[in-house]
Amino acid sequence: MRINSLAKEEALRQLVSAEEGLSEAEAAKRLAENGFNEIREVHRTHLSLRFLSQFTHFLAILLWIGAGLAFLSDYLHPGEGMAMLGFAIVGVILINAVFTFIQEYRAEKALEALKKLLPFQVRIMREGKEKQIHSREIVPGDIVFLSEGDRIPADIRLLESSLLKVNNASLTGESEARLRDHDPFQGELIESPNIVFAGTTVTSGSGKGLVFATGMSTEFGRIAHLTSAVESGLSPLQKEIVKATRVVATIAALVGIFFFALGFAIGRDFWDNFIFAIGITVALIPEGMLPTVTLALAMASQRMAKRMALIKNLSSVETLGCVTVICTDKTGTLTQNRMAASKIWTDNRTIETKDYQPQNADMLMYAALLCNNARIVDNAYKGDPTETALLRLARETIGNVAAKRISEIPFDSDRKRMSTVNRIGDRQYVFSKGAMENILPACSRFLLDGAVQEMDDAFREKAIAAYHQLMDMGLRVLAFAYKEGSGQKAEGEGPIPHPPVPNPRSLESDLVFLGLIGLEDPPRPEVPDALTKCHGAGIRVIMITGDGSRTAVAIAREIGLVRGEPVVVEGADFGKMDDRELREKLSAKEIIFARMTPKHKMRVVTILKEEGERVAVTGDGVNDAPALKKADIGISMGISGTDVAKEASDMVLLDDNFATIVNAVEEGRTVYENIRKFITYIFASNIPEAVPYIAYILLKIPLPLTIMQILAVDLGTDMLPALALGTEKPTPGIMKQPPRPRTEHMIDLALIRRAYIFLGPIEAIACMFGFFFVLSAGGWTWGTVISPDNTLYMQATTVCLTAIIITQIGNVFACRTSRESVFSIGFFTNRLIFFGIAFELALQFFIVYHPWGNKIFTTHPIAMSIWLVLIPFAFLLFFAEEARKAVVRRSQSARSTL
């Protein structure tokens, strides 16, 4: 039998314990059998292995192969500068690995955070004596004492309780502290009032209990096991980079092999062909793409941090941009997490609390003030959010009242009401508050305009109608009643730590109905606009809350989450559904989940992902950690979130605001768009890097561009302009487009056509023109063999490199948009572009005119007039691309009108 269903004595017998506690010898034996009361790691990749993994992904392996070939070439045929190429590629791999690891190493700390949530010292009973021990030394069968403020160290079956209230929010998602008792309970363990769970908190009262589960056997432990067992998988961006690098690697390999074979066919020797094959491969592999993507994501994460979204995993920046569903909590995310009294119904009318005028001896306000366990500590309201809201209302309305509490009947889920007996002056009163359906039947009279009248059906109908009206506003509604002259006399004048509990039947009868107070957790003002953005962006928002369905629907209507009649699924019904039924429910346009548990949320996320959705999930409790990790994007709350949720998530909302999620989605879409921009920019330079090698082998001319000069472009001059493209602002209408489908790839045919067939060839024409222009001016004739250290040859290769740099300046402006004219977004709106161009030119001047640059890159100074010859090619490229965009816009406009 479950321990919650057993009587106190039977529970002790089952665990072979006693009210005097275990003996020290028995406790030591059980500690050896069960282990320490702590969360153990199920499986964890060592930090060193995670760092090494940065060197073994596909693009890194591709670069390792390139470096290895370079070193092999230098070993077999020294003097070609291939060793320097190899070291340069290894440097790229190392820098990117270190940078990425530093950004992401904190993402896997959920289990350590779980350990921190367990208390340090605990009061227990052993051998009939009370003592304090470390929480990790608790064993099943120990007797533990609980008091207000304690964090519960293990799963415990209560043996005694005195007004004990426990906040299970971090485990079950319930926002309110619940009264616990020690009577047997026949229902589910998680719902049992005689069970308190590890990691939850005692908010008031005291108790004593029997430990029945410790460490990984607790509910906390099961969540830890589930969290660590969930596989996150690759993000969409990571998948796209893998696909992109495989495509590029395949193209580079095929082209290298083809021209290697072609060289043999036309009579080239092995080493010329081998150097050529490596050169064409290096030219076609965008070595700078990975560090540029990494840096762009890091910059985006910094921008998002300024917008109150802290990104823990770099690839999550882009993943946000492709989410199709956001599963969000209500309290604190859609609402402000600030309970406040907003409406009062009394004297047959509903009024705003700010318009309420108190009467002499205002019994409604007396009830709100005195039937209340909230308190003021250091000028701050402390206690249950609902009760603090009522206390604030009453104090602001009637001020403090000199009264003494004589006794209390705490709230419980069966009675759904709370009552107190208070003495005001020389009179005693009973005050009750609770659910309307439990307070109204206990009333035989009602107060109207200061006069007590007999209860009748007409008044009941008016009260019930008002109650429904307030609930439909999304308010939590409490009813209030009182009567005079009952109760027990106070014993002495000193404080009563635990007031006596009178008989509810005699006390809570023949009451006078006072009225209703509606409390709201106001929606965040930014949320309606954020939801409108989501609707426009084709993102479905699903509320998953622990609150009741009626309140959830009302709030959803108020903020614009639902517009029609939503499908509402309660937790009790959810558990009975099979996967097919759940899939049908989730296909609804508008759906709300109410009274949900952690297991339920995890299942929703799993089904949505199986249906092809890209899911973002919010959460703040321990219970949310598995779902946060399972989702494509886990989003935790920075203010109200537990450490466990924060460590299991990919993003932390520093302001707990749903609108921040939408801002992050916009930033994510912008990042994806900007990555495509700078990939186009980087890929376009591959063609002028590759064409010289093709011309070298087919036309039997001197090699126009060396491998080190290619790396000067890929890892030097291109880097900052590409990063500047990564900082472009969102294009107009980016949040009015649907999420991109899974079938759409970052590098698609349109991007390849634009970079390789349109922009790249223009740059190739410029670089080859510059190369032959200098050779011809220097007297070179076709077929003449020229040595690599010849000044004319070095000047020609320098001009070829300079032509690529100059045309890339035109290209960086052309790539700022894919469809719109650059002039429509403002030519000077991205100042970083100009900083990038300045760096690009400064580096090129170093390469061309400084002796160190000449030595490293085998260049030679050129006349400034040569620059003037090349500059028109930059304008040609830019305006040719503007013309292409205009044609695309006209053709798309024509198709849309058909």
Any idea which residues carry the catalytic annotation?
329
Beta bridge partners of 594: 570
Q: How many angstroms separate the CA atoms of 381 and 363, rounded? A: 22
What are the CB-based long-range contacts (under 8 Å, 24+) for 276-280? 276/693, 276/696, 276/697, 278/66, 278/69, 278/70, 278/73, 278/82, 278/707, 279/693, 279/703, 279/707, 279/710, 280/252, 280/255, 280/256, 280/690, 280/693, 280/694
Q: How many angstroms separate the CA atoms of 286 and 718, rounded? A: 11
Contact 682, 288 (CB under 8 A): yes
Show the tokens assigned to 290: 């990975």
Contact 238, 315 (CB under 8 A): yes
Q: How many angstroms separate the CA atoms of 324 and 739, rounded? A: 6
Amino acid at 711: L
Counting every residue written for the chain, the total comes to 898
Contact 635, 235 (CB under 8 A): no
Residues with Cβ within 8 Å of residue 887, at least 6 apart in sequence:
none
386 burial (CB, 10 Å; 0-12 / 13-18 / 19+) is buried
Contact 320, 668 (CB under 8 A): yes
If you count DSSP H runs as helices and E runs as strands, how many of each does the chain have, helices first? 35, 26
Other C-beta atoms lying within 10 Å of the C-beta of residue 203: 19
Q: How many angstroms separate the CA atoms of 849 and 819, rounded? A: 38
Show the tokens assigned to 20: 């005097």
Residues with Cβ within 8 Å of residue 692, at least 6 apart in sequence:
703, 704, 705, 767, 768, 771, 800
Secondary structure E strands in 669-755? none
Residues 344-360, buried b or exposed e (16+ Cβ, 10 A)? bbbeeeeeebeebeeee
- The closest alpha carbon to 290, from 258, 329, 254, 248, belongs to 248
